[in-house]
Chain A
Amino acid sequence: MKNDNFIGLDENDDGIDRAGFLKCMAWAGTGLFCIMSGGVLKSYGMSQLIDKATGRIKKGIEISKGDFSFAQISDSHIGFNKPANPDVVGTLQAAISKMNAMPSSPSFILHTGDLSHLAQADEFDTLDQALKSAKTGKIFYVPGEHDVLNDNGKQYLQRYGKDTKGNGWYSFDFNGVHFIGLVNVVDTAEGGLGVLGNEQLQWLENDLKGLSSSTPIVVFAHIPLWAVYPQWGWGTRDSEQALTYLRRFGSVSVLNGHIHQTLQKVEGNITFHTATSTAFPQPQPGMAPSAGPMKVPAEQLRNLLGLTSVNYVEHDHTLAVTDLPLSSAKTDQPEHQ
């Protein structure tokens, strides 16, 4: 299949060319470990790090213990029941169990949208019930397009958007890191691209104004803030404006969902990372007629689902991002040393 819009050249001098991009995609489901330091992301496949015999990190590789950690869960699609995964509650619970088995509990969870499949009250209730078992301090949400289907997000806002602005955007600080939750699913553009909108962009500019450039920034939103594959709506039409405001910061991590697979891109000091779903996989960009639930052999499903763990080391201003597939019985989290 012809893919004219794949990244073919390293035009941004960011080390990510087409081969690198595809290599990142190949990691999906096998797990990914990334360390961001000084705006440079170093990525390792989990197979490079994890000793298959013990399920623990290989000897000789040292990973600093983070000052705090948080987890990202995405695209739970509670209510989905097609053959790609008839038990999305079960796989969400498996993700929570995986997280609860980590050596230290995450300080909080970011859910990057598509909590529900059809934005029904009972679906949100089921999600809330499942997440009650998560060992964490707090859960922060942003909506996916499935969460705002019926009412442009009114129910979502009532349930998850208290003390937020506009359609549900907000920011908060935690241990010196500034977190920003953006909404790019309520307004829309041709082809299904996400839209942030002028009001939110103006708010973002103001929100960042008082921060020093050394403040580590974590941005999270549902639809990727980079052009992953615009033909399938995998991008945000006006994200470039948001990135303009973020470029002066020394360390920016952008966490997204929506595409149900792990992809990464580094652009200057900004690292983009998309997470796997807890519900069902989607095809790699351009490798199917369209995006949508992808049925895989049952024994492969949990390799393609998972969650993301992020450790933050304060004195280095570094974020280590680890993708954890649901597949292994043991927790793949490296031992902290």
Chain B
Amino acid sequence: MFFKKKYVVILGLGSTIAIAAAALPSANNEYKNLKVLPENISSKDLSKIMIDDFEDGLGVSCAFCHSLGKDSLRLDYASDAKPEKQIARRMMTMTLGINRKYFKFKHPMIGDSTLVINCITCHNGQPRPVDDEEK
């Protein structure tokens, strides 16, 4: 299928990973350093994206993209220290773009279950998508 071949390759290329590019809430329930996901996203929507799209879609845990705080074993969700987080942002932007351009979604949102293309389309439970031809 044209679509599948072409866009699965596009999604796979350069996507070493894709995961949480968000920051979990501070005490007043506001998120810090959200750049692709909406700043006013609800706790439930954000958690759902982190679990359903990233954790299940890529088979990774939070620490794959989020770095530990300084001298701490607790994740600093706002930190951009890990390059994987920046890649995740690019992957989300790409995914939204594909759904907008090729599948006519006017306002695609990560986490929307009606999107045609999402993380698991290419990642299939793995941090790095496997090209069928590589198998």
Contacts and interface: CB of A to CB of B under 8 A. Distances in A.
B126 interface: yes
A188 B126 contact: no
Most buried by A among B25, B61, B126: B61
A151 B25 contact: yes
Given A118-B51, A233-B61, A291-B59, A188 B43 contact: no
A289 B73 contact: no
A82 interface: yes
A170 B111 CA distance: 37
B109 interface: no
Interface in A56-115: 82
A290 B68 contact: no
Interface in B26-77: 43-44, 46-48, 50-52, 55-56, 58-64, 68, 72-75
B125 interface: yes
B24 interface: yes
Contacts of A152: 74
Nearest to A117: B51
Interface in A144-183: 145-146, 149-152
A134 to B, nearest CB: 27
Given A290-B59, A290-B126, A187 B74 contact: yes
A289 B44 contact: no
A241 interface: no
B124 interface: yes
A189 interface: yes
Given A292-B55, A292-B125, A293-B56, A149 B50 contact: yes
Interface residues of A, number: 28
Contacts of B60: 192, 290
Most buried by B among A120, A195, A288, A292: A292
Chain A at the B interface: mostly helix, strand, loop or mixed?
Answer: loop
A191 interface: yes
Given A120-B44, A151-B25, A290-B125, A189 B51 contact: no
A286 interface: no
A150 B75 contact: no
A191 B63 CA distance: 7
A289 B125 contact: yes
A118 B48 contact: yes
A149 B47 contact: yes
Contacts of B47: 118-120, 149-150
A186 interface: yes
Most buried by B among A119, A188, A197, A293: A188
A13 interface: no
Nearest to B45: A118
A289 B135 CA distance: 13
Contacts of A187: 72-74
A4 interface: no
Nearest to B130: A289
> Which 9 pairs from chain A and chain B are nearest by CB?
A290-B59, A192-B61, A187-B73, A118-B47, A289-B125, A290-B125, A292-B56, A289-B126, A150-B43
27 contacts: A82-B52, A117-B51, A118-B44, A120-B44, A146-B51, A149-B47, A150-B24, A150-B25, A150-B43, A150-B47, A151-B24, A188-B61, A188-B62, A188-B68, A191-B61, A192-B62, A192-B63, A192-B64, A195-B73, A197-B73, A288-B125, A289-B125, A291-B59, A292-B55, A292-B56, A292-B59, A293-B56
